[in-house]
Chains A and B, each alone.
Chain A
Amino acid sequence: MRATVLVRPKQGILDPQGEAVASALGHLGFSVSMARVGKVIDLEVDAADEAAARMEVERMCDQLLANALIESYDVEIHA
Chain B
Amino acid sequence: MASPQPRIGVVTYPGSQDDRDALWALSANDAQAVPVWHEDGELPDLDAVVVPGGFSYGDYLRCGAIARFSPVTAAIVEFANGGGLVLGICNGFQILCEAGLLPGALLRNASLRFVCRDVELVVERDDTPFTARCVAGQRLVIPIKHGDGRYVPPADLDPSQVVFRYLEDCNGSVDDIAGVCNEAGNVVGLMPHPEHAVDPLLGSADGALIFASLVDASRPRAESAVG
| Cβ contacts B148-179/A at 8 Å (1 or 0 each) | 00101010000000000000000010000000
B168 to chain A, nearest CB (A): 18
- Given A16-B108, A16-B112, A70-B105, CB of A65 within 8 Å of CB of B61: yes
Contact (Cβ within 8 A) A17 B112: yes
B98: chain A residues within 8 A (beta carbon): 67
- Given A13-B152, A16-B172, CB of A67 within 8 Å of CB of B62: yes
Q: Does A47 contact B (CB under 8 A)?
A: no
Q: Does B111 contact A (CB under 8 A)?
A: yes
Contact partner, A69, options B104, B109, B111, B112, Cβ 8 Å: B104
The B57-75 residues at the A interface (CB cut-off 8 A) are 61-62, 65, 69
A43: chain B residues within 8 A (beta carbon): none
Q: Does B110 contact A (CB under 8 A)?
A: yes
Of B104, B112, B152, the most chain A CB neighbours within 10 A belong to: B152
B154 to chain A, nearest CB (A): 6
Contact partner, B172, options A14, A17, A64, A70, Cβ 8 Å: A14
Q: Does A55 contact B (CB under 8 A)?
A: no
Contact partner, A70, options B69, B109, B110, B152, Cβ 8 Å: B152
Q: What interface size band does chain B fall in?
A: 10 to 19
List 4 A-B pairs, minimum CB-CB distance, nearest first: A70-B105, A69-B105, A16-B110, A16-B112
Q: Does A20 contact B (CB under 8 A)?
A: yes
CB-nearest residue of chain A to B110: A16
| Cβ contacts A10-33/B at 8 Å (1 or 0 each) | 000110110010000000000000
Q: How far is the CA of A7 from the CA of B112 in the complex (A)?
A: 19
Contact (Cβ within 8 A) A13 B61: no
Q: Does B107 contact A (CB under 8 A)?
A: yes
A36 to chain B, nearest CB (A): 13
| Cβ contacts B23-62/A at 8 Å (1 or 0 each) | 0000000000000000000000000000000000000011
- Can you pick out 12 interface pairs between chain A and chain B where the beta carbons lie within 8 Å of each other? A14-B107, A16-B108, A16-B111, A64-B69, A67-B62, A67-B65, A67-B98, A69-B104, A69-B105, A69-B154, A70-B105, A70-B107
